[in-house]
Amino acid sequence: MAKKLVIKATAGADAPERCSQAFTVAAVAAASGVEVSLWLTGESAWYALPGRAAEFELPHAAPLPELIVGILVGGTITVCTQCAARRGIEEKDLIEGARIAGSQVFVSEIMADGVQALVY
**DSSP reduced 3-state for 116:** strand
Other beta carbons less than 10 A from residue 1's beta carbon: 7
What are the two backbone dihedrals, phi and then psi, of residue 7, each rounded to the nearest 5 degrees?
Answer: -120, 130
- What share of residues in the chain are helix, strand, coil (percent, to 5)? 45, 20, 30
pLDDT of 19: 98
Q: Which residues pair with 77 in a beta bridge?
A: 38, 98
How far apart CA 26 and CA 64 sit, in angstroms, is: 11
pLDDT of 74: 84
Per the prediction, the chain carries an average pLDDT of: 96
Task: Quick: pLDDT tens for 6-39.
Answer: 999 999 999 999 999 999 999 999 999 999 999 9
What's this model's pTM, rounded to 2 decimal places? 0.95
Instruction: List, in sequence order, the alpha helices (H) in 7-87.
Output: 16-31, 64-74, 81-86
What are the two backbone dihedrals, phi and then psi, of residue 115, each rounded to the nearest 5 degrees?
Answer: -110, 140
Task: Quick: pLDDT tens for 91-108.
Answer: 999 999 999 999 999 999
